[in-house]
Amino acid sequence: YSDITQKCWDYFVYLMRNVTASELCEWKVISRPYSELQYCLELWADRLNYGYPNALAEQYIFQSHHRYFHNCTLEHPVYFDPPEDVLLAMIIAPICLIPFLVTLVIWRSKDGKAQA
């Protein structure tokens, strides 16, 4: 399997030779070579009953990212959930505020005089 995966890698490098530096982060340009690499690694793993994903295939995928795509950034930032303590505070604060507001409304309504 290691000899075959090396051939998959060599073919990927061959396909990437025509990709310019300015095109390295454009999915429409690199999708074919990248998909070919993934397909080759998966196909031969399945044919040889090696299992996929596997450590060797992952090594080549990581190598492709390190060699070709390490300077690519996302155009739109990816947002992540806040840490659990911040999330908990954001949930608890409004819940704790509700009884206070209800008490304030009741207290103000007992003031006796209706507002005109």
**What pLDDT, on the 0 to 100 scale, is given for residue 115?**
54
For residues 48 and 105, membership in a common domain is answered with no
Q: How much is the average pLDDT of 85-95? A: 89
Angle at 24 between CA 13 and CA 68, to 5 degrees: 50
**What pLDDT, on the 0 to 100 scale, is given for residue 92?**
92
**What pLDDT, on the 0 to 100 scale, is given for residue 42?**
96
For residues 54 and 105, membership in a common domain is answered with no
For residues 11 and 48, membership in a common domain is answered with yes
- Is there a contact between 21 and 71 (Cβ–Cβ < 8 Å)? no
- Is there a contact between 40 and 50 (Cβ–Cβ < 8 Å)? no
**What pLDDT, on the 0 to 100 scale, is given for residue 4?**
96
For residues 55 and 99, membership in a common domain is answered with no
Tell me, letter by letter, the H, E, C secondary structure of 35-48: HHHHHHHHHHHHHC
Per-residue pLDDT for 101 more than 60? yes
* Residue 76 or residue 90, greater confidence: 90
- Domain hosting 24: range is 1-69
Per-residue pLDDT for 62 more than 60? yes
Per-residue pLDDT for 69 more than 80? yes
> Could you give the number of structural domains in the chain?
2
* Residue 86 or residue 41, greater confidence: 41
**What pLDDT, on the 0 to 100 scale, is given for residue 114?**
54
Closest CA to 59 of 47, 74, 41, 33: 41
75 within a domain of the structure (yes/no): no
Which residue bears the tokens 């190598």? Answer: 63
Measured distance between the N- and C-terminal CA atoms of the chain, rounded to whole angstroms: 86
pLDDT band at 78 (very low <50, low <70, confident <90, very high): low
**What pLDDT, on the 0 to 100 scale, is given for residue 35?**
96
In the chain, what are the helix, strand and coil shares in percent, each to the nearest 5? 70, 0, 30
